């Protein structure tokens, strides 16, 4: 029996990597040419053309389209303030990607486009992919130095006129912890980030922490968190001022498959729902949630009131909030999602 199962698994991998017709006939799992992309990146030291050095961290500045952007090396970040399209007094969002991700991935492109459509922000994308590739443990030890380098760069921007009142840091997975380290350093230097958002903050290696203190409510004036894969790739405990738990905050999120091959593109569906929900909220998606003690109370209607998950979340919110979502876009159900 083991040999039969192993042969089927091997055939599934081969069918994607070699397009073997024989194996494809046996394949029953949903796989695509992108299924093993994340696994391949684990065995790559850096993206092509990048160096595993702090000096090669970059900040991308997006203007009116995903393609219309400039990048600045982290130590020269203040140069972006000289761009005539950059409005210093306008709210600025800084998005930080996760493990083995690059700026051109669907997550980055979707979020950038959402903010471009919104039109209310300077859009900065922290590209630390040069230190986010390779084995997971090694990348864990990069979080603190990367976060410190980023924090120092943002401090230079603030001292040159960037408006801290409109600063919003958003991090997905490991990126949430990078953003937290940066915000922590800034706070120690007298600049407290007004809002820090975690999109399914990474769980492995942070709870309990191996090397870096994970994101927490002390890192900014308002820390809001969206949980979608709690206990697996994402954190399973309340870690912010306001923690949102769509569909109980764990797998399986509506529309995600109940069974997938580990670490394949499809396997990250629940984890990636967090940035999909966030992007939709930036575009005006109405995610109404209820403050409850737990998901069972939510299902029974034993809750205290409503709040909005996503960009519209109010900074005075405190506690745990639950809601339901649709299985496909648009995910927001409005008031129906809170009952």
Residue 282: both structure tokens together = 């930036």
Residue 135, burial from CB neighbour count under 10 angstroms (0-12, 13-18, 19+)? exposed
- DSSP characters over 132-190: T-S-HHHHHTTHHHHHHHHHHHHHHHHHTT--GGGEEEEEETHHHHHHHHHHHHHHHTT
Catalytic, out of 127, 200, 219, 229: 200
| Degrees to nearest 5, angle at CA 287 with 305 and 168 | 100
Catalytic, out of 15, 107, 173, 274: 173
Quick check: helix, strand or coil at residue 247? helix
Q: Are 322 and 289 in contact (CB under 8 A)?
A: yes
| Residues 5, 9: Cα–Cα separation, whole Å | 6
- The closest alpha carbon to 259, from 247, 273, 269, 246, belongs to 269
The answer to whether 200 is a known catalytic residue is: yes
Q: Are 185 and 147 in contact (CB under 8 A)?
A: yes
Catalytic sites, residue numbers: 173, 200, 271
């Amino acid at each position: 029996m083991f040999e039969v199962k192993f042969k089927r698994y091997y055939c599934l991998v081969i069918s994607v990597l070699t397009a073997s017709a024989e194996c494809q006939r046996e394949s029953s799992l949903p796989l695509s040419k992108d299924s093993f992309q994340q696994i391949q990146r684990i065995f790559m030291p850096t993206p092509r053309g990048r160096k595993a050095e702090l000096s090669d961290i970059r900040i991308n500045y997006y203007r009116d389209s995903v393609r219309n952007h400039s990048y600045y090396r982290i130590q020269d970040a203040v140069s972006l303030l000289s761009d005539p399209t950059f409005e210093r007094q306008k709210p600025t969002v800084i998005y930080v990607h996760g493990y083995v991700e690059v700026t051109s991935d669907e997550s980055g492109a979707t979020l950038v486009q959402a903010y471009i459509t919104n039109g209310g922000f300077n859009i900065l994308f922290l590209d630390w992919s040069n230190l986010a590739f390779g084995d997971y443990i090694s990348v864990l030890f990069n979080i603190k130095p990367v976060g410190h380098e980023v924090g120092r760069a943002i401090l230079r921007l603030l001292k040159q006129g960037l408006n801290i009142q409109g600063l919003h840091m958003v991090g997905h997975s490991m990126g949430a912890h990078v953003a937290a380290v940066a915000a922590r350093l800034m706070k120690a230097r007298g600049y407290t980030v007004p809002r820090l958002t975690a999109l399914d903050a990474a769980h492995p290696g942070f709870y309990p922490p191996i090397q870096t203190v994970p994101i927490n409510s002390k890192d900014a004036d308002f820390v809001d968190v969206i949980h979608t894969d709690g206990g697996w790739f994402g954190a399973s405990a309340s870690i912010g001022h306001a923690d949102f738990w769509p569909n109980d905050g764990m797998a399986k999120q509506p529309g995600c498959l109940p069974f997938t091959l580990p670490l394949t593109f499809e396997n990250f569906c629940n984890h990636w729902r967090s940035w999909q929900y966030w992007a939709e909220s930036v575009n005006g998606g109405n995610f109404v949630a209820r403050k409850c003690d737990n998901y069972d109370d939510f299902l029974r209607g034993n809750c205290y009131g409503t709040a909005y998950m996503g960009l519209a979340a109010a900074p005075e919110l405190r506690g745990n909030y639950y809601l339901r979502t649709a299985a496909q876009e648009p995910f927001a159900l409005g008031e129906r999602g809170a009952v």
